[in-house]
Amino acid sequence: MRLDQALTIADLKDMARARVPRMFFDYADSGSWTEGTYRANSDDLGSILFEQRVAVDLSNRTTRSEMAGRDVSMPVALAPTGLTGMQHADGEILGARAAARFGVPFTLSTMSICSIEAVAAATDAPFWFQLYVMRDLDFVDNLIERADAAGCDALVLTLDLQILGQRHKDIRNGLGAPPKLGLSSFLQMASRPRWCVDMLRTRNRSFGNIVGHAKNVSDLSSLSSWTAEQFDPELNWGKIARIRNKWPRKLILKGIMNADDARMAAENGADAIVVSNHGGRQLDGAPSSISVLQSIVDAVGDRVEVHFDGGISSGQDVLRALALGAKGTYIGRSWLYGLGAGGEAGVRRALEIIRNELDLTMAFCGERDIRNVGRHILHSVAEQAA
């Protein structure tokens, strides 16, 4: 299948499955433990129905909006994803370029393959940087300074990975930081010759934000022990306030699933929060992101901008989240499938698919401007919420 023949994110997923080594494809396409929360994210979104309207002027439609002070072509950002450069060579650079040309934000993960500096050098648009809080505060401060120097216009602080959830597919595949390479993994890579050729052509095959920057991490062999001990289990609101004081621009707190935590985020200077359960990759058995979105929006009102992450695989899913009060949304797996399917062009195709579905569904619901979408476009929303 050619990229222009892909009509859905599921089409891109099938293409990525055929082109990406299994251990890296599984890394994206997995959740923790039973994967119940991973599945619920998608299932609960799909259960929300729209209210169709007719005889409405549908000319001059627009999906343009704002996220965290940035004008966007649609309220969708590319979520931070670790190991992106293993889905496709130079994956973070290609994602950032596609996002910039499409007019949506790109978020670079701390655990990216391409470094902050490599992405900044390869694109002329500012991007967002996602930060994990580590025990080594000097390293954290250095990451913040590097993101500032690169011109990142928002810092996305992830709060729900103080400890790592157990992901059975990754354990069985020997996938960690760095991956454990054995006969099985070599055979997987050998079965994807195009992927191998692309990887041989790039120098970006390490964890660019860590190797050569963190203490005693000069190469991949020293990375495993460092990552095992660095995620900070003592993360608290005091440490978040410390980062707020150091970061000069927009601060977005990701991983909020509770109304009280949302209120605390607003009180501690967050410009935006992301309702997210880490794609079902941390606490299996947690509710889906969409099931708690409305209560969090109601809890914080206009005190902080609410974004949504979790299970989005279509423009219809984006519209569902916006209707329940989100001001912006994030796609993770959806853009990774595009990346694996066809590099930068594949990411652009994923964004085109989502924008087309978003525009058409908004129109069928009788709206012309994405900023006017609200709960009124949902069918029997009171019964669904109950």
- CA–CA separation, 118 and 64 (whole Å): 29
Whole-angstrom Cα distance, residue 332 to residue 78? 6
Residues sharing a CB contact under 8 Å with residue 95, sequence separation 6 or more, in sequence order: 78, 84, 106, 335, 339, 344, 347
**Exposure pattern of 56-95 as b/e (b: 16+ CB <10 Å)?**
eebeeeebebebbebebbbbbbbbbbbbbbbbbbbbbbbb
379 in catalytic set: no
**CA-CA distance, 159 to 70, in Å (whole number)?**
23
Distance, CA of 373 to CA of 91 (rounded, Å): 33
Choose, from 88, 213, 278, 379, the residue flagged as catalytic. Answer: 278
Residue 175 burial (CB count, 10 A): 21
Q: What's the token pair of residue 217?
A: 């991490």
DSSP 8-state assignment for residue 158: E
Backbone angles phi, psi at 195, to 5 degrees: -60, -45
- The H or E element containing residue 156 is strand 154-158
Catalytic (active-site) positions: 278
